[in-house]
Amino acid sequence: MKILVSDEIEKVCPSFVGAHVEVSVRNTPYSEGLWNEINRLEQQFRATLTTETLKDISGIAATRRVYRACGKDPSRYRPAAEALIRRMLQGKELYQISTLVDLVNLASIKFGYSIGGFDAEKFEGDTLTLGIGKAGEPYEGIGRGLINIEGLPVYRDSRGGVGTPTSDNERTKIDLNTTHLLVLINGYDGNEESVHANAEFLIRLACDFCEGHDASYYIYR
């Protein structure tokens, strides 16, 4: 899959760096070992963060700045990493969906980047383009119904939007039959070293908990 970054994204975030990750996997409903890792990270967050200081995490702070530059209120449409960590700090349980979805969420909160996790076989065409959502653009967020993506960064395939930092699309979502995982890591803070580390961490999780193999990733701008 080819990834293109549009001029409109380069204008609001010239330092953007992303990672495209692909792994062959076997999904399962639940992994105790993975949730042990999630729970350890939750304990760490509760000891070191508040619902205000989490906004200072580099990846989250940068995503919020891009939202504002695109005309979106990041406190109303929270980046997914921020929303997940915030939920932990409020004493609420994270959603347990499936092992693949859960590990993508762990990779997101570990580094503070909004990460899109997709079933690669559900895309249309061979290119994804990162742009900005338009007024009235149809978009069905996972478990959220139709949402307003005007002013949100959005990846589009040849059919339309598939992923934003707030919610991915129902059409390309991971399910228990997913065997070809594609992940996009969005480094709006421009920290290439951290984006590399996030990609390698995600591949490790996929190999440890989803029988991951034939894994690869590349950096894009």
Mean pLDDT of the region 81-86 = 97
Tell me the C-alpha distance between 174 and 210, whole Å. Answer: 13
Mean pLDDT of the region 73-80 = 92
190-202 confidence digits (pLDDT tens): 999 999 999 999 9
Please name the amino acid found at residue 144: R
Tell me the C-alpha distance between 97 and 30, whole Å. Answer: 8
Torsion sign (Cα): 125, 111, 150, 118: positive
Decide: residue 110, CB within 10 A, 0-12 exposed, 13-18 middle, 19+ buried. buried
Tell me the residue length of the chain: 221
**CATH number of residue 67's parent domain:** 3.50.40.10
50-69 confidence digits (pLDDT tens): 999 999 999 999 999 999 99
What pLDDT sits at residue 54?
A: 97
What pLDDT sits at residue 31?
A: 98
What pLDDT sits at residue 117?
A: 98
What pLDDT sits at residue 89?
A: 97
The domain total for the chain is 1
138-185 confidence digits (pLDDT tens): 999 999 999 999 999 999 999 999 999 999 999 999 999 999 999 999
What pLDDT sits at residue 120?
A: 98
What pLDDT sits at residue 115?
A: 97
The answer to whether the CB of 213 falls within 8 A of the CB of 24 is yes
Output the six-digit token pair for 190.
Answer: 């421009």
Mean pLDDT of the region 97-119 = 98
What pLDDT sits at residue 98?
A: 98
Annotate 61-88 with b (16+ C-beta within 10 A) or e (fewer). Answer: bbbbebbebbebebeebbbbbbbbbbbb
**pTM of the model as a whole:** 0.96
28-52 confidence digits (pLDDT tens): 999 999 999 999 999 999 999 999 9
User: How would residue 211 be classed by pLDDT, with cut points 50, 70 and 90?
Assistant: very high
2, HSE (Cβ side, Cα atoms, 13 Å): 6
Q: Domain residues for 171?
A: 2-220
| Mean pLDDT score across all residues of the chain | 97
Provide the edge-to-edge strand list for the sheet that holds 161-163: 2-5, 127-132, 153-156, 161-163
What pLDDT sits at residue 118?
A: 98
What pLDDT sits at residue 59?
A: 97
